[in-house]
Amino acid sequence: MFSGEILQKVRETRPLIHHITNWVTIYDCANIVRAIGALPVMAHAKEEAGDMASIASALVLNIGTLTEYIIESMKIAGKSANQKNIPIVLDAVGVGATKLRDDKAFELLNELKIDIVKGNSSEIAKLAGENVRTKGVEATKVEADLIAVAKKLSVERKCVTVITGKEDIVTGGNKTYLVKNGHAMLGSVVGTGCMAASVIACFAAVEKDYAKAASAGLACFCIAGELAAERSKGPGTFKENFYDEIYNLNKETIDKMEKIEEL
């Protein structure tokens, strides 16, 4: 498939990935961007959010620990990114858990052109209009068909939608990919969801077909997870091995292990 080639492009061009993100996983978001071969920057002051976004190649907006201030900064950065056609990834962390998260996620979707929206099943279902509740930042069971939910959001918002889970769903509305790589250990560590959004942004920075970019980013991420799990005794060693595997990942390994299905 295509993941290995896009990864090579990330490493050759080393795009700058601007984040306005949460205080829990901010380090890991930065560190995974560097490990995969791109350059992270985090800057949330209103006075510089727009300037920093304008020199970046992609922008990640992650609402994990949103406040009014942070949402305002996201809008400033987002408008700046939109003006220059810099892709924006929205990680809809905890949407469905509180009214604030729902309201602010919809505000971002209404006021900015978001290129890729990512979340777990209940986060995305909420954005697509389903009546669901997220348990903090943890997905709850969604009764609706997830592929249909993702497609609905993509059509409504003219975006690529990513639902992470045992199999990741990536759709632009028409074209849909299932990323079947992955390992349960990725769920044993806090922050892998956020890190996946940052990796997707790295790929979107160098590949304008965002459904392909997101699928490729997720496949590489999950392959590293599979490799790391093999030699880990628990979430502590897994996480460190995961960074090693992301850093050492090459096209040959990806070509062998990649499991992306186009529906």
Which chain residues interact with its own copies by CB under 8 A?
16, 18, 22-28, 30-31, 34-35, 39-45, 47-48, 51-52, 55-56, 64-68, 94, 97-101, 135-138, 188-191, 232-237, 239-248
d(CA 259, CA 6) in angstroms, rounded, equals 15
Q: How far is the CB of 156 from its own copies (least distance, A)?
A: 25
Closest to its own copies by CB, 42 vs 147, is 42
Q: How far is the CB of 151 from its own copies (least distance, A)?
A: 29
d(CA 251, CA 142) in angstroms, rounded, equals 36
Q: Which two tokens stand for residue 218?
A: 């997720």
On whether the CB atoms of residues 165 and 146 are closer than 8 A, the answer is yes
d(CA 24, CA 30) in angstroms, rounded, equals 12
Three-point CA angle 16, 21, 23, nearest 5° = 125
Phi-psi region of 177 (alpha: psi -120 to 50; beta: other; left: phi over 0): beta
| DSSP strand pairing (88-91 vs 16-20) | unpaired
Q: How far is the CB of 152 from its own copies (least distance, A)?
A: 26
Q: Which two tokens stand for residue 97?
A: 């858990």
d(CA 64, CA 248) in angstroms, rounded, equals 29
Closest to its own copies by CB, 30 vs 90, is 30
Closest to its own copies by CB, 156 vs 253, is 253
Q: What is the DSSP letter of 65?
A: T
d(CA 25, CA 204) in angstroms, rounded, equals 21
Closest to its own copies by CB, 106 vs 247, is 247
Q: How far is the CB of 66 from its own copies (least distance, A)?
A: 6
Closest to its own copies by CB, 129 vs 136, is 136
Q: How far is the CB of 172 from its own copies (least distance, A)?
A: 29
For residue 183, count other CB atoms closer than 10 A to its CB. Answer: 19
Closest to its own copies by CB, 38 vs 150, is 38
Burial grade of 54 (CB within 10 A; 0-12, 13-18, 19 or more): middle
Q: How far is the CB of 16 from its own copies (least distance, A)?
A: 5
Closest to its own copies by CB, 154 vs 192, is 192
Q: How far is the CB of 95 from its own copies (least distance, A)?
A: 12
